[in-house]
Each structure stands twice: as C-alpha cells, then as structure tokens.
Amino acid sequence: METNELIVCRDAALGYEGRAVLSGLNLSVSAGDYLCVVGDNGSGKSTLMKGLLGLISPMEGSIDRAAELKNGAVGYLPQQTRAQKDFPATVYEVVLSGFLNRRGFRFFYTAAQKTAALQAIGKLGILELKDRCYRDLSGGQQQRVLLARALCAAGRLLILDEPITGLDPAAAQDLYKTLRYLNEKEGMAVVMVTHDLRSALENARMVLHIGKKSWFYGTAEDYLRSPEGRRFRKEEQ
Amino acid sequence: MELLEMFSWPFMQRALIAGVLVSLCAALLGVSLVLKRYSMIGDGLSHVSFGALAVAVALGITPLYFSIPVVILSAFFLLRLATSGSRMGNDAAIAVISASALAIGVLVISLTTGMTTDVDNYMFGSVLAMTETDVLLSAAVSAAVLALFVLFYHKLFAITFDENFARATGMRVELYNTLLSILTALTIVLGMRMMGAMLISSLVIFPALTAMRLFRSFRGVVLCAGATAVLCFGAGLIISFAESTPVGATVVVADLVLFLLACVIQWLRKKT
C-alpha cells in the first residue's frame, strides 16, 4: 500500500453468512479522492460501505485500510436513525463525541479537543447553533452537525451513507457545496453512497456503479459514455 | 418535627438510604434506555427478577445471590435481542420472557410457601422487608453503578446517540452495551425489594421522560432525571408513611405527577 492510499480492495468479495452480495471488487481510494457509489436498491451498496468501514471482512480477496483508519480516524456519516430525530443533546455535545475513538482509556475530553470541536462547528457554518438542541434543528442543519462530528473523527477520509435522504433540494445543494469545499480546500477524501446520480456526476471525480449484473468503475466523464451511463442519460431525457 | 420523628425509625432510615441510591441509578441508566427505545427491557427484567427471587426462596438460597446473576444474564440476552432485530419482533420477545418469568415465579411460590404476603411483597414491594445487609449491598452496588456511569458518561452518550457511528470509528459498542445491561440488571434487582416487580420499571422510565421534556442538553437531561428521581422517592416515602399507603405505588404516583407537570410546562413553552 502506498502512503497516500487509504483503502485498496483487490478482488474482494463481501457478503453475509457465506453468501456473497458483491464479488470481484477492485477499487482504491487515495487522499483527496471524491468517489460516488451509485446503484439500484439491494445491489449491495450498504454491504460495500460496511466493508470499507471494516465492520465486515472480505470473504475472498482483500480490503487493505490505512493504519489510521484502523485506529478509527474515519469520518463516517451514517443514515439518521429514528431515535436521533428527537434526541435531547446540544450540537456541541454531539460534535465532541466525534473524538471518542482516539481517546483510548481517557474518560474526559481534553482542552485541545474542545477547541477542535468548535473549529469543526465553525467550518460548517453552524457556530450560532452550538448550544441549540439537536432535535430542534432542520434536516439540513442536523446533517451539518453530523458532518462536523465526522470531521472530528476524520483524518483524511469521509464516508457518507445517503447523506441527502430527507433533505429539500436547497439543503442538498448546500451539503454538496460543503463537501466540495472540504474535498478541494481541506484535501479530505470523500466516499459517498447516493441515489442522486445527477448531483453525484456533477461533483465526484470517480464513480462506482454497482448493478445487478454489470459494474462500472472509472471517472465521471467515462461513466457517461459507458452502457450504465447511457441508460441514465436516456432516463434524463 | 414530625419528619424527624418519621426518620427516627430504623426501617425508614434504611428505606431512605437504599431508595435514594437505587432511584438515582435507575434514573441515570433510564436516560440511555429510554432514548435507545429499550424502555420495555426494564419491565422485562423486573419480572425475571421476580421469578428468580421466587425460585431462590424455594431453594432456600439468599435471594440476591441467586437473582443477581440470573437477571444479569437475562439483561445481556434481552439487549442482544433488542439490537439484533430477531424474527419474532423484539417487543413480542420481551413480552414473552417477562410473562413467562412472572408465571413461573407465581407457580413456584404457590407450590412451596403458598400465596402469602410474600407474593404481595415481591410484586408491590415493601420497605419493612429491607434488612441491614440489603441496605449495605444496595449502597455498594449503587456506588459502583454511579462511578461507572460517571467514568463512561461520554461513551454511553456516544452509543446512545449513534451506535453505527461509534462502531465505525472503532468504539467497542458491544462492550459498552454489556456494561449498560449489567448496570441495569443490578439496579433492577436492588430496586425490586422496595418497589416490587410491577413498579420498579417506572423508576427507570419516568425520570428520563420528565427530564426530556424540560431540558435540551444531554447533560441537563441526565442531571434533571437524577434530581427528579430522588425528589419523587423522598416525597413518595414521606407521603406513604403519613398516609399508610404502599411505598412503591406512592412513589410512582409522585413520578406521574411530576411528569404531567413537565408536559404542561413543555406545552406552555411551545405556545409562547
């Protein structure tokens, strides 16, 4: 593994209880990349996500993850759960919890972590919401809070699972803008599972399309010329 | 003056010490359980605890030595069930376990000692039943629960708020869930003596619900839940002594009154 590579999959097969959902997976994510994972429902997007996060190990082949990721330095933005929608916690409390992975046997947050949490909140432009309650925020604001928490945990990689689900179009565009900023200015690698193909193609440099039978992995420009991409363009017109 | 006289009785002192400690533990853990949608687990565990107690008495073993391990095991099992999404449906599985434990407990009691006041004590609690060893044990276990809760406060917050994120960033979620279930089991077993199997789960659920209506931060909710629990227990104990009502039920009604009050406050706040 080269130093700027974060995740490398070689002929990996992923699945549960001996049955592969995905197989023959080859892909590499390096520092500064922007990869969108698209595909139909049930094609194995969330299985891939678990594989990339190291929550399941490959049945065949290998998934190599950089040492920092193994220590938990991954900025994960999971799908919201029902319980979270009315959770009594301030924005600051939620964002700070992003540091827990690196704290080892420490029981309390350090002053440096508290400062960094405020910086992450500032970076996402929600400093004025710092003491507000998470459940009182709009969907877009909640996603920003979770993204700020992800930044606290992240070293060089953000992994997002359907981040725009439930957002109105304006809030979704805002989120894409923020992600592009973090990718271009902060050099954060972004891996996003999404069903919003059009915006994915506008933002991502690389696309992984998981179909029931066919695969595509390459740049966004090549994708539009591929059979999968052509089908998408036909649907657009 | 009357209050001083009330607490000059040794059994009242014991009830107050043990009750305040157990209520506090139940309320703190309750915040996590309620937010994780595990409220019914408290109820299920109390019924298992009742069954274990009945079996222990029949076998002639000190009840707590037998029921603590049994309830810890079931707590572990129930939390597993709640997180795994079993085919049966989590709530149905919990209902099955709690009803079975209750039925087995009642059967064992009626076959051995007979349906006496014992059953009533186990079901609805009794302050008089608290012995000095009970109080000592309650104090020791409560101290341990409180210490662990304070030390792991941030981790418990993280797994309560977002288990998936915690797992992805390498936190040992299973370990903390196990910790949570063991602490809950201990608290329920201790509280059952006082509150009874039917009512102990309210100590877990009510303070958290009341606090969630009043506070916006997790820390605020935790502190308020603790304060609510202690206040309600104190009030319930005093009223039950003065009016000769059952302690458990009086404490629960005190909790209910405070909860309704919190609902009204929340409603008024929303209107303005």
- Asked if A90 and B218 come within 8 Å (Cβ–Cβ), the reply is yes
- Residues of chain A in contact with residue B222, where contact means CB-CB under 8 angstroms, are none
| Buried/exposed B164-203: b ≥16 CB within 10 Å, e otherwise | bbbbbbbbebeebbbbbbbbbbbbbbbbbbbbbbbbbbbb
- Pick the most confident of A64-73, B21-30, B51-60: B21-30
Which pLDDT band holds residue A211 (cuts at 50, 70, 90)? confident
Which pLDDT band holds residue A169 (cuts at 50, 70, 90)? confident
pLDDT given at position B116: 62
Residue A105 pLDDT exceeds 70: no
Per-residue pLDDT, averaged over A219-228, amounts to: 81
* pTM of this structure: 0.85
Nearest by Cα to B105 from B65, B50, B58, B57: B50
Instruction: Find the Cα–Cα–Cα–Cα dihedral B151, B153, B154, B160, rounded to 10°.
Output: 140
- Residues of chain B in contact with residue A142, where contact means CB-CB under 8 angstroms, are none
Of B162, B169, B218, the CB nearest to A88: B218
Of A81, A101, A131, the CB nearest to B169: A101
Residue of chain B minimizing CA distance to A72: B169
- Asked if A100 and B171 come within 8 Å (Cβ–Cβ), the reply is yes
Which pLDDT band holds residue B25 (cuts at 50, 70, 90)? very high
Residue A102 pLDDT exceeds 60: no
Residue B174 pLDDT exceeds 90: no
Return the minimum-mean-pLDDT range out of A156-165, B148-157, B193-202. Answer: B193-202
User: Is the Cα dihedral B112, B72, B100, B41 positive or negative?
Assistant: positive
Q: Which two tokens stand for residue B173?
A: 């979620």
Of B152, B170, B215, the CB nearest to A72: B170
Of B152, B170, B217, the CB nearest to A89: B217
Please tell me the distance from the alpha carbon of residue B182 to that of residue B70, in angstroms, as a whole number: 11
Residue A184 pLDDT exceeds 70: yes
- Residues of chain A in contact with residue B155, where contact means CB-CB under 8 angstroms, are 100
Q: How far is B121 from chain A (nearest CA, A)?
A: 36
**Residue B208 forms contact with A (CB below 8 Å):** no
Quick: pLDDT tens for A57-80.
888 888 888 877 777 788 888 888
Residue whose structure tokens are 């998981």: A210
ipTM of predicted assembly, 2 dp = 0.85
Q: Give the whole-number percent of chain A exceeding pLDDT 70.
A: 96
- Asked if B217 and A90 come within 8 Å (Cβ–Cβ), the reply is yes
Which DSSP state fits A100?
G
Which DSSP state fits A80?
P
- Residues of chain A in contact with residue B153, where contact means CB-CB under 8 angstroms, are 107
Q: Is residue B236 a contact partner of residue B207, using CB atoms and an 8 Å limit?
A: no
**Between B170 and A88, residue with greater pLDDT:** A88
Residue whose structure tokens are 């459940």: A135
Residue B167 CA neighbour count, 13 Å, CB half: 17
Q: How many CB pairs under 8 A join A and B?
A: 85
Which pLDDT band holds residue A104 (cuts at 50, 70, 90)? low
Residue B190 pLDDT exceeds 90: no
Which pLDDT band holds residue A28 (cuts at 50, 70, 90)? confident
Q: Which two tokens stand for residue A171?
A: 């809030």
Which pLDDT band holds residue A237 (cuts at 50, 70, 90)? low
